[in-house]
Amino acid sequence: MSHDEVKQQPPINHAPSSNFAKEVEQEFYGDGIMKCIQCGMCTASCMVASMTERYRPRMLIQKILLGKREEVLSSELPWLCMTCRLCEERCQEDVNLSEIFHAVREIAAREGYIPQVFRNTINKVLEDGWLLNDAYTDFVEDDRSDLGLDPKLSWNNDFVKKIKKRYFEGVTKK
Amino acid sequence: MKEFVLYTGCTTPVRLPAYEAAVTVVLEKLGVRLIPMKDVNCCGAQYIESLSHTAFAAMSGRILAIAESMDRDILAICGACSGSLKAVKHDLDSNKVLRAEVNELLADEGLKYTGTVEVKHLLQIFNEDIGYDAIKAAIVKPYHGVRLAAHYGCHVTRPPEIVHVDDPENPVIIDTIIEAAGATPVDYVGKTRCCGGPMLAMDEEVANKIGLDKIKNIRDEKADGIVTACVFCDIQLTQVQFGDMAGDEPKIPVLTLPQFLGPAMGINFDSLGIQLNKIDPQAILQEM
Ligand code: SF4
Ligand code: SF4
């Protein structure tokens, strides 16, 4: 077969399909993403990945680097990291995966993609000032008294109202 | 006597008040007095943290500023809280713009973050403020022949450059205390892995699989019990043993570190809340 007969293949385009990675880089602690060399050590050490096929941290980083913005933001993937940081201890390139996924969650949240369980919990915290107001029953009060602890818990809920007004107006509705 | 303000976090006072009680009596006996914090708010971990870094910094920043107004360093007994407070302290100390924004929000209440207080997790108090010699000296009823598995908690030891607690790959503080009290610390596969607790919100089944995997690894080493240093880990490692997937192997008792240490220091079970533990730890506590 002579050279002339080799068909010209269209060039493969390795350029990212959007500047999503750059966008992530601009967020708080999102700047580590470009250091990833796609070795897969993170996935190998991730307990979530070992228990479900739905989640692979290396692949999620890759999707971000490839610019798959909508796909990532509208998926559950950035919310499946339990931020245990075991992968970060192992990553030889010092990629701060859990912070990067937090940065992605912030972007997702601004566009209205928030898992319902996060929405509900955040609405509670921004109302009560703390997480477990509804779980604080008379039984628990009695246990606290028996243990010699103050049964009156004094959580502040004024400050969260300010936080809600300033940072979450409109974000967690639904 | 050293004094710290105690930030309990949301979960301990409601779901594990025995931890709060045990920490208070054990530390008091070791020369550390805890002052409760009033009128505080959730640190913002996981939930607020995921949506807005600035809002998260404001929530944890307010707790730091209240500690400043009380002129004491903070003790946090929950891994998530200690991690949040330390991370936010790091941010507020290095990012002037963020600090100015947080201080603007705090100004109405006459609060201000200036960076003067330290945040310590319970393990640091034992290691840095009390020391192993003093712990050993306080042991009056040492354990004998009990094998215990330490579970450290992700946010307690990671990221090491922010939290400064222990070696993240080979943590030793709980193991050293187990040994100081006369018991035998046992190593197990996946010791520094997560309990699965933070996964409960998104996928309970995966969370429980992760927790049960840890229980299995601990059971493989024939440990008599598990010693924890975070309220979430303690609750998660207990509750997974009651779930559908748990099987019918005997349950392994889970004790918070002060609940483990207290009896060996001669503190009575009632003030440590031992009777509230969901898995009866008598088998461990008899061996003294
Ligand atoms: S371990 Fe680090 S460098 Fe390797 S794929 Fe994961 S993030 Fe990238
Ligand atoms: S931090 Fe997230 S991605 Fe990394 S090991 Fe933990 S759960 Fe997996």
Q: How many residues does chain A have?
A: 174
**Which of the four pLDDT bands, split at 50, 70 and 90, describes residue A3?**
low
For chain B, the structural domain boundaries read: 2-121, 134-282
Q: Same CATH fold, B134-282 and B2-121?
A: no
Task: Give the pLDDT of residue A14.
Answer: 73
What DSSP line would sit under B207-265, residue for residue? HHHHHHHHHHHHHHTT-SEEEESSHHHHHHHHHGGGSGGG-SSPPPPEEEHHHHHHHHT
Three-state DSSP at A47 gives: helix
pLDDT band at A8 (very low <50, low <70, confident <90, very high): confident
pTM of the model: 0.94
B273 within 8 A of A149, measured Cβ to Cβ: no
Judge: A163–B58 Cβ closer than 8 Å, yes or no: yes
The 10s digit of each residue's pLDDT in B220-277 is: 999 999 999 999 999 999 999 998 899 899 999 999 999 999 999 999 999 999 999 9
**DSSP strand pairing (B74-76 vs B2-7):** parallel
Closest chain B residue by Cα to residue A105:
B50
If you classify domain B2-121 with CATH, what class do you get?
Answer: mainly alpha
Question: How far is B186 from B282, CA to CA, in rounded Å?
Answer: 19
Residue type, B256: T
Cα B76 to Cα A131, B60, B72, B121: the distances in Å are 17, 12, 13, 5
B105 φ, ψ (degrees, to nearest 5): -70, -35
Tell me, in angstroms, the distance from the centre of ligand 2 to residue B174's CA: 24
pLDDT of residue B266: 97
Residues of chain B short of pLDDT 50, as ranges, are none
pLDDT in tens, A102-144: 999 999 999 999 999 999 999 999 999 999 999 999 999 999 9
Report the residue of A29, A48, A124 to disrupt the B interface, i.e. the one with the largest count of B CBs within 10 Å: A48
Neighbours of A75 (CB within 10 A): 16
Residues from chain A contacting residue B58 (CB–CB below 8 Å): 159, 163, 167
Q: How far apart are CA B250 and CA A8, in angstroms?
A: 67
Best to test chain B binding among A73, A82, A100, A132 (most B CBs inside 10 Å): A82
Position B206 scores a pLDDT of: 98
Strands B147-151 and B225-228: what pairing? parallel
Residue numbers in B near A27 (CB within 8 A): 53
Q: Is the confidence metric ipTM above 0.90 for this complex?
A: yes
Q: Looking at chain B from residue 142 to 161, which residues have their Cβ under 8 Å from any Cβ of chain A?
A: 154-155, 158-159
Percentage of chain A beyond pLDDT 70 is: 94
Strand-pairing partners, residue B75, are B6, B120
Whether A159 shows a pLDDT value over 80: the answer reads yes
Q: Is B53 on the interface with A (CB under 8 A)?
A: yes
pLDDT tens readout for residues A34-79: 999 999 999 999 999 999 999 999 999 999 999 999 999 999 999 9
**With bands split at pLDDT 50, 70 and 90, how would you rate the model's confidence at A4?**
low
Per-residue pLDDT at B11:
96
Q: Which CATH class is domain B134-282?
A: alpha beta
Residue B26 makes CB contacts below 8 A (sequence gap 6+) with B258, B261, B262, B265, B267, B272
CA nearest to A77 within chain B: B202
Cis amide linkage into residue B159, ω under 30° from 0: yes
Query: Quick check: A1 pLDDT over 70?
Result: no
Question: Quick check: B47 and A122 CB within 8 A?
Answer: yes
